[in-house]
Amino acid sequence: MIDTPTVDWLALSPSVALLGASGVALLAAVIVPDWMRKSVAAGVVLIGFVLAAVLAGVVFDETPTPEVLLDGSMVRDRIAALTQVILAVTGAVVVLASWAERRRDNHGEYYALLAAAGAGMVFFVSADNLMTLFLGLEWFSLCLYILVALDTERATSLEAGLKYLIVGGFGSAVLLFGSAFVYGATGELGFAEIAAANPTDDVFLLAGLAMILAGLAFKVSAAPFHMWTPDVYQGAPTSVTAFMSAATKAAAMVVMLRVLVTAFPDQSEIWTIAVAVLVCISLAWGNLAALAQRDVKRLLAYSSISHAGFMLMAIAADSERGAEALLYYLVPYSAMSVGAFAVVAVRERELQRPVTLESLAGLGWERPFYGIAMWTFMLGMAGFPLTGGLFGKLFVFSAAYDSGDWWLVLIGVAATAVSLGYYLNVVRWMYMRAGGELRLAPAGGSPPTDPALGVAIGAAVLVTVGSFFAAQPILDAAADAAASLPF
């Protein structure tokens, strides 16, 4: 008789809720009659995401100190729970935003995959050894590969899916290879055990660390591991892009923080430099390349690369303050990112073609709500006041300055200055083109009304602005969460 470890179902419940929703949605794709398939699938998955968020909140509330679960494969702690809340809320907003998306007949599959990907991410962030980490990574990545290629009638979607599959597969392989090196060097898989084994300056351990870092950098799309990002973000269905840009990045960032801090504390002098290098390259590359983009989804993709740079700056600080800054940053960033892609989706549905800067002309005047929302997201991403984007940058800069990386602050400031070039350009196209250009391109008939999308964008605006005024409660939660990491 093999001893079975006791299972902490509460800790697993967010993941289980999403898996359950995914299963029901998948069944709905077969059983439920055609006309109500979409409503059932979307409804169930929405409930799943909301339930997951609530359950993760309960876990957060009831886990003052970290607990290792399932024989050291998972950990129940506040940093995981807080990230799960962010992921699940993001997922719920994406479900609302994708309600009116036109697709042929794969609604059930779409929502099922979305929930499954969410479940994978929720699992991923609570991983406590290299095996569960890889499992979680592959779990949500496989779902995303299919989601990206889901619009089979669009060649770009298929192309994006293939690219993501190949590059993502490569990234996963690098991560797995690195894990093997680390296991070889230490004989351990658990993060804390790796740190305890501590074979200092072992070449294989360092090689493994570098490869794990690179593998995760693929997922957070930090330059120079970002090559897939613009193409995939552009080609994927816009709601999937929204989900990836916010949720994948959030999950991978938190996991990167956890792995580096818990498994490699003795190598921190090395990896802080490596992360700082990633910061510089991401900020430079992301911002400069974004300046040249005409396609809004590509522009936002490069912008997300530069945001990866800002978030990595918080990791490079290697301090509790940095962890707080990162967790805070994720809240407004997720909202702005999902919201911005949702506004792009509005325009895309009207025009039935890819959204360029030109096709945003006049949007601000003819769709005041979406215009102001997009304005808010762009200003927020640029770090203007009255949005959480400012505090995100401020906290990250403070953490970096506190750790003595004042030069990173200066680079971040310079990058922000460059980023204004394209963020304000979007605002300029929406509001300031001359005469005829200000007329919206004809979309054929009146625009489709889409209350679900309006609610999604409204929620994103609320979080973006709310995280500015109510920064303290979020920061408190982030501080509680950061306390569960061993700094």
- What sections of 187-267 are H helices per DSSP? 191-197, 203-220, 228-235, 238-243, 249-258
**CA-based nearest residue to 391, from 341, 332, 345:** 332
Nearest distance in Å: CB 400, other proteins? 9
Residue nearer to other proteins on the CB measure, 12 or 378: 378
Distance from chain centroid for Cα 68: 25
416 is a site residue for other proteins (CB under 8 A): yes
Binding mask 348-377 for other proteins (x = CB under 8 A): -----------------x------------
Distance from chain centroid for Cα 248: 4
Backbone angles phi, psi at 444, to 5 degrees: 80, 100
**Which of 233, 264, 397, 422 lies at the binding interface for other proteins (CB under 8 A)?**
397
Size of the site for other proteins (CB under 8 A): 34
Residue nearer to other proteins on the CB measure, 217 or 396: 396
Binding mask 448-467 for other proteins (x = CB under 8 A): --------------------
Cα 55 to Cα 20, 59, 246, 487, distances in angstroms: 14, 6, 20, 27
Longest dimension (CA), the chain: 79
Look up tokens 């509005």; give the residue: 346
**Which of 27, 58, 210, 409 lies at the binding interface for other proteins (CB under 8 A)?**
409
486 is a site residue for other proteins (CB under 8 A): no
**Which of 417, 437, 451, 462 lies at the binding interface for other proteins (CB under 8 A)?**
417
User: If DSSP codes are grouped into helix, strand and coil, which group holds residue 482?
Assistant: helix
Hey, what amino acid is at 206? L
393 is a site residue for other proteins (CB under 8 A): yes
Three-state SS across 19-55? HHHHHHHHHHHHHCCHHHHHHHHHHHHHHHHHHHHHH
Residue nearer to other proteins on the CB measure, 166 or 410: 410
Nearest distance in Å: CB 79, other proteins? 17
Binding segment (CB under 8 A) for other proteins, from list 44-52, 306-314, 392-400, 451-459: 392-400
**CA-based nearest residue to 52, from 23, 5, 91:** 91
428 is a site residue for other proteins (CB under 8 A): yes
427 is a site residue for other proteins (CB under 8 A): yes
Contact 382, 413 (CB under 8 A): no
Nearest distance in Å: CB 321, other proteins? 9
**CA-based nearest residue to 249, from 338, 160, 324, 161:** 338
Nearest distance in Å: CB 10, other proteins? 29
Binding mask 320-339 for other proteins (x = CB under 8 A): ----x---------------
Nearest distance in Å: CB 95, other proteins? 29
CA distance 178 to 194: 13
Nearest distance in Å: CB 81, other proteins? 20
256 is a site residue for other proteins (CB under 8 A): no
**Which of 391, 456, 467, 480 lies at the binding interface for other proteins (CB under 8 A)?**
391
CA distance 316 to 276: 6
CA distance 87 to 118: 7
Phi-psi sector, 309: left (phi>0), alpha (psi -120 to 50), beta: alpha
**Which of 173, 273, 292, 410 lies at the binding interface for other proteins (CB under 8 A)?**
410
420 is a site residue for other proteins (CB under 8 A): yes
284 is a site residue for other proteins (CB under 8 A): no
**Which of 117, 336, 338, 379 lies at the binding interface for other proteins (CB under 8 A)?**
379
> In the complex, which residues of this chain contact other proteins (CB under 8 A)?
324, 365, 379, 383-386, 390-391, 393-395, 397-398, 401-402, 406, 409-410, 413-414, 416-417, 420, 424, 427-428, 431-432, 471-472, 475-476, 479
